[in-house]
């Protein structure tokens, strides 16, 4: 039953504590690509490797959570209609050649509190 030894991308969902799968590329209905996935509890997540583009990642995530229903995505109210978690992926770097760029891989998780109609 163990999934250990799979690599470094073993993470737990912040809502239900299940292990989540490694992020994969998902094509949205608008043709953009987001890197993320879904948890069994209904939470969805995106992974932003650079951590500098969270606004865009957030928009993609909300649309993904709403099955690309943008009207619904924009009408949702934080903490009322959904919960958001932002998790920094702490990957110990031994060394970086370009140290002036601080790269912080970040996961964004969202869990809708009411079912999608």
Q: Where does this chain bind Zn ion (CB under 5 A)? A: 13, 15-16, 18, 39, 41, 43
Q: Kindly state the smallest distance separating residue 113's Cβ from Zn ion, in Å.
A: 14
Q: Is 67 left (phi over 0), alpha (psi -120 to 50) or beta?
A: left
Q: Provide the minimum distance between the beta carbon of 13 and Zn ion in the complex, in angstroms, as a whole number.
A: 3
Q: Residue 41 or 103: which CB sits closer to Zn ion?
A: 41
| Residue placing its CB nearer to Zn ion in the complex, 39 or 63 | 39
**C-alpha dist (Å) from residue 109 to 5, 41, 98:** 24, 12, 29
Q: Which is nearer to Zn ion, 15 or 58 (CB)?
A: 15
Q: Do residues 36 and 43 lie in contact, with contact meaning Cβ atoms separated by under 8 Å?
A: no
The residue (of 35 and 52) whose beta carbon lies closer to Zn ion is: 35
- Shortest distance, position 109 Cβ to Zn ion, whole Å: 8
**Residue 17 has which token pair?**
């504590």
Is residue 92 helix, strand or coil? coil
CB 40, min distance to Zn ion, A: 6
> What distance, in Å, lies between the first and last C-alpha atoms of the chain?
35
């Amino acid at each position: 039953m163990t999934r250990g030894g799979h690599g470094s991308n073993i993470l737990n969902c912040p809502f239900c504590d299940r292990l989540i799968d490694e992020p994969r590329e998902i094509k949205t209905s608008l043709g953009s690509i987001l890197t993320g996935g879904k948890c069994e509890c209904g939470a969805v997540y995106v992974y932003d490797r650079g951590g500098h583009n969270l606004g865009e990642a957030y928009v993609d995530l909300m649309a993904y959570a709403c099955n690309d229903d943008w009207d619904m995505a924009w009408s949702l109210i934080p903490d009322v209609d959904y919960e958001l978690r932002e998790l920094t992926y702490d990957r110990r770097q031994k060394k970086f050649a370009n140290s002036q760029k601080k790269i912080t891989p970040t996961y964004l998780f969202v869990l809708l509190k009411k079912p999608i109609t």
